[in-house]
A and B are shown apart, each in its own frame.
Chain A
């Protein structure tokens, strides 16, 4: 009986400890302990969409003819977030840019942007100064070979207490020489549940 009481007390003690709120801790951003929500795009959803879109782009062989000595220049065009969730689209696009840069076959222009706006205005000014200094100020500036556009859509549904959200990531790569798309990809992330949870 005494042993049962001891076991009971130790179990109560452990349970009380477990019942306390979760203390703050660092977790791996690419790990398996991330919070999964239903109504918004989570960090792991961006990872998954970017990974699969880059895989699709790479498998298509669109950059097969390019190499580290002859890189394709990519310009980032219109990126539209058409969901109800407000987030910075760079959470997706930056991952794709990094993956393409790391392939060694692509360079991303930071001085040519949508509507003439450079992503890096200082680099643009410095480039113009350099061209002026070298007597190339009147020449046509080098333009990207490809442009990337993206649209993120959302479809919601519910049944009773269970909610479902689908986030659809659509991406196109256009060859500016022809004006036609060379690759298009779509990746969906669908989540279902009634409340957020930790883990996938």
Chain B
């Protein structure tokens, strides 16, 4: 667990190119048996991952990829475009059964202040913020630049829960991405 600021050096993406939300961000979830990452990118073993728990108070957990794990991809969430990896957490483990935002080889340090995680992932001097909300039976995970909900949405993912929940999402958090744009 990271209580204060966590300095992470700038790195190239695991694909060898510039870091991007599309290939640098995925979804992590931990249950009693397995810690999983699903993401579009093909990752090397031992890739560094920062897992953001958006349950209040927000926090960041350090992990690494261990191996390819096909069961970490669920067709109900991801279709065929994602890859699954088993994760190993370096120290403290995050809460179980909570979909979380996973940033691979993050290009910027993460900060945790007053229960809010921020990081300038795209290097534009505007912090990204991390959110989650529930729709009728799933969790929407989002990353925003500048300000949550009113800033630019940079990334979005949905995780099906398979039970009905009390919904608290805003339309901005659940809207589909325009064709050809980053979700």
Asked whether A and B interact, the reply is: no
Which residues of B pack against A, CB within 8 Å?
none
Interface residues of A (CB under 8 A from B): none
